[in-house]
Amino acid sequence: MHQVPLYINGEFTQSQSDKWLDVVNPANQEVLAQVPCATHDEVQAAITSAQEAFKTWRNVPVTERARIMMRYAALLKEHQEEIATIICHELGKTFEDAKGDVWRGIEVVEQAANAPALMMGETVENVARNIDTYSYIQPLGVCAGITPFNFPAMIPLWMFPMAIVCGNTFVLKPSEQDPLTPMRLVELFEEAGAPKGVLQVVHGAKEQVDQILTAPEVRAISFVGSCGVGSYIYSKGTENLKRVQACVGAKNHMVIMPDASREQTINNLVGASVGAAGQRCMGISVAVFVGKSKEWIDDLKAGLEKVRPGVWNDPEAAYGPQTSAQAKARILSLIESGKQQGATCLLDGSDFTVEGYENGNWVGPTLFTDVTPEMDIYKQEIFGPVLNCVCVDTLEEAITLVNNSPYGNGTSLFTASGAAARKFQHEIEVGQVGINIPIPVPLPFFSFTGWKNSFYGDQHTYGKQGVRFYTETKTITSRWFADEAVTGPNMSINLR
Ligand code: NAD
């Protein structure tokens, strides 16, 4: 059985832990590997090694650090399909979806290669007579990242390339559910020329995260995962005087105006709601039909009926299994609660299976109408292929509904009206808005800007905000006294 190594001080080492967890293929329950819950000493060794490496890494010219990112982006492109295949096995994504997971990470690495421009400070000459003020952007020290299961390539790549190119060193604690993908990312990072100690990887769960949250050497924590864990990490990290950015759960609404293109809207909605088995923090889980657009729910049902999950290399499969048997059980109990609480289930994927893979964690596309904000299927993040429909009379009502949601990760409006779009984008209290775009994830020259209960912190992930999160600004005010050698004997300027 493959035992996933730790990565400490540039060495892939076997953990001495006596606690190991199975890494399971969710399509057939095959145990692919075992991942350790690293010991206290191992986590400390990773942190200490990162602290030691920082002393020299911070002095490596930013251009050299950026060149490592250029080589890394090239290597990731070369190995994109191979990494995607690992994702397919340990998470069950379809091959196309898995390639996208890798690609969205590569784009962040490309952005990290722009570090020299992103790390420019500011300067004002003569803030007082012969006095200048200028600022430098400097790294923090040891930063850490704790990542979720659903994007095992993209989300680690949101974090460590940006932190490291800014001159920090980094300790990554990837999801224990799919650690094989991040380990491959790390091997390629080493191949790209990253020096020893700049990146460390420890495995585990709460205990290992707690040690990172309280370690005095760690200056900043990036987290992506569920709301409950994220609020805990934000509170505990800040209590220990660390910077924390925590991207957490979501409940994203798509608002559909009757003037929108019917076919385009329904096609987009089908993909955005059940794609990736609904395991996307920017996926759509509520469709809000305004006025007569509710007549399209029949088309939506017909569209979803054509979609079926399957194994990663089945070209007909629209999405894969849920990540674990527990995740599937949770989704089925929420579907049951929807029926009990009075929603109308137009399509029920609870009892779905894939021939030859009967013990996979399958859930078929599920569609509810007559959903109200009091129901659990409306309130809770389902993180499965379940779409809830709500009907309202006006755009105003739709905006109020979305704004009353405690979450604020993503939303979209489908319409042909510029006036409706402008009103929506101005009034909506959500951090990432799509106009006729169902899943508006910003490219990495912007930042990933979730709001409200979808994000705890102030500086967001990647883009300019990512650079600010991983750096300090140092502001220098300077004066130089000139003597005759500088001014010349005949100069009349009084430099004092
Ligand atoms: P999770 O919160 O269960 O786990 C995330 C990480 O936290 C893992 O590394 C895990 O080991 C660790 N962890 C788990 N329990 C912990 C505890 N009690 N104390 C400390 N650490 C703990 O999340 P998940 O199930 O892996 O991922 C799905 C969630 O992530 C969804 O809620 C989804 O919305 C969210 N997510 C958000 C974004 C975003 O950008 N907002 C992106 C992707 C996923």
> pLDDT tens across 226-285, in order?
999 999 999 999 999 999 999 999 999 999 999 999 999 999 999 999 999 999 999 999
Residue 444 falls inside a structural domain:
no
Q: Is 380 in the pocket of ligand 1 (CB under 6 A)?
A: no
Indicate whether 486 belongs to any domain.
no
User: Which of 150, 280, 460 should be mutated for ligand 1, with most atoms under 8 A from CB?
Assistant: 150
Q: Are residues 244 and 340 in the same domain?
A: no
Are 42 and 116 in the same domain?
Answer: yes
Averaged over 31-50, what is the pLDDT? 98
Q: Return the structure tokens found at 337.
A: 């609660």
Whole-number Å distance between alpha carbons of 46 and 50: 6
Q: Is 148 in the pocket of ligand 1 (CB under 6 A)?
A: yes
Q: What is the strand order of the sheet 366-369 is part of?
A: 344-347, 366-369, 386-392, 284-290, 252-256, 411-414, 433-435
271 in contact with ligand 1, CB cutoff 6 A: no
Residue 139: Cβ within 10 Å count = 24
Nearest CA to 252 out of 348, 447, 386 is that of 386
Confidence of residue 494 (pLDDT cuts 50, 70, 90): low
Query: Phi, psi at residue 208, to the nearest 5°?
Result: -70, -40
Structural domain includes residue 490: no
Share of the chain above pLDDT 70, in %: 98
- Say whether both 200 and 262 belong to one domain: no
The protein residue with its alpha carbon nearest to ligand 1, atom 24, reads 148
Q: What is the pLDDT of residue 484?
A: 75
Q: Which domain holds residue 171?
A: 6-248+454-477
Q: Which of 23, 157, 175, 411 to mutate to test the pocket of ligand 1 (most atoms within 8 A of CB)?
A: 175
Alpha helices in 367-462 (DSSP H): 376-379, 395-404, 418-427
Residue 447 in any domain: the answer is no
Q: Are residues 112 and 226 in the same domain?
A: yes
Q: Dump pLDDT digits (tens) for 71-104.
A: 999 999 999 999 999 999 999 999 999 999 999 9
104-115 pLDDT tens trace: 999 999 999 999
- Choose the catalytic residue: 37, 166, 247, 281: 281
**Backbone angles phi and psi of 231, in degrees to 5:** -70, -35
- Mean pLDDT calculated for residue range 43-67: 98
Q: How far is the CA of 273 from the centre of ligand 1 (A)?
A: 20
**How far does the centroid of ligand 1 lie from the alpha carbon of residue 201, in Å?**
17
Please confirm, yes or no, whether 281 is among the known catalytic residues: yes
Residue 272 sits in a domain of what CATH number? 3.40.309.10
The answer as to whether 443 is a domain residue is no
Please say if the pLDDT value at position 409 is more than 50: yes
Indicate the pLDDT class of residue 488, thresholds 50, 70 and 90. confident
Q: Is the CB of 409 under 6 A from ligand 1?
A: yes
Q: Please give the Cα distance from 38 to 99 (Å, whole number).
A: 30
Q: Which residue's CA lies nearest to atom 43 of ligand 1? A: 281
> Does 67 share its domain with 211?
yes
> Is the pTM higher than 0.95?
yes
- Predicted local distance difference test score (pLDDT) of residue 490: 60
Residue 482 lies in a domain: no
* pLDDT tier, 482 (very low <50, low <70, confident <90, very high otherwise): confident
Alpha carbon distance 90, 71 (integer Å)? 27
The answer to whether the CB of 228 falls within 8 A of the CB of 32 is: no
pLDDT 10s digits, 364-403: 999 999 999 999 999 999 999 999 999 999 999 999 999 9
Question: What pLDDT shows up at residue 496?
Answer: 46
Residue 403 and residue 463 in one domain: no
pLDDT at residue 36 is higher than 70 = yes
Residue 224 in contact with ligand 1 by CB distance below 6 A? yes
The reply to whether 239 and 295 lie within a common domain is: no
Same domain, yes or no: 237 and 286: no
Mean pLDDT of 403-415: 98
pLDDT digits 0-9 by tens, 317-351: 999 999 999 999 999 999 999 999 999 999 999 99
Both 87 and 32 in one domain: the answer is yes
What is the average pLDDT value for the chain, to the nearest integer? 97
| Distant-in-sequence, close-in-space partners of 235: CB < 8 Å, separation ≥ 6 | none
Nearest-atom index, ligand 1, CA of 323: 25
Q: Which one of 43, 224, 232 would you pick to mutate in the ligand 1 pocket, going by the greatest count of ligand atoms within 8 A of its CB? A: 224
User: How would DSSP label each residue in 271-307?
Assistant: HHHHGGGG--TTSEEEEEEEGGGGGGHHHHHHHHHT-
Ligand 1 atom nearest the C-alpha of 228 is: 2
Q: Atom of ligand 1 at shortest distance to CA of 448?
A: 40
Q: How many domains does the chain have?
A: 2
Confirm whether 226 is domain-assigned: yes
Which atom, in ligand 1's list, is nearest to the CA of 210?
20
463 and 378 housed in the same domain: no
Same-domain check for residues 395 and 326: yes
pLDDT tens digit string along 117-167? Answer: 999 999 999 999 999 999 999 999 999 999 999 999 999 999 999 999 999
Q: What is the CATH number of the domain that holds 63?
A: 3.40.605.10
- Judge contact between 300 and 292, C-beta under 8 A: no
Same domain for 318 and 219? no
Q: Separation of 212 CA from ligand 1 center, angstroms?
A: 16
Compute the average pLDDT of residues 287-291: 98
Q: Is 150 in the pocket of ligand 1 (CB under 6 A)?
A: yes
The predicted structure's pLDDT at residue 237: 98
CA atoms within 13 A on the CB side of 363: 30
pLDDT tens, residue by residue, 417-466: 999 999 999 999 999 999 999 999 999 999 999 999 999 999 999 999 99
User: Counting atoms of ligand 1 from 1, which one is nearest the CA of 461?
Assistant: 40
Measuring from atom 22 of ligand 1, which residue has the nearest CA?
206
Q: Does 485 fall in a domain?
A: no
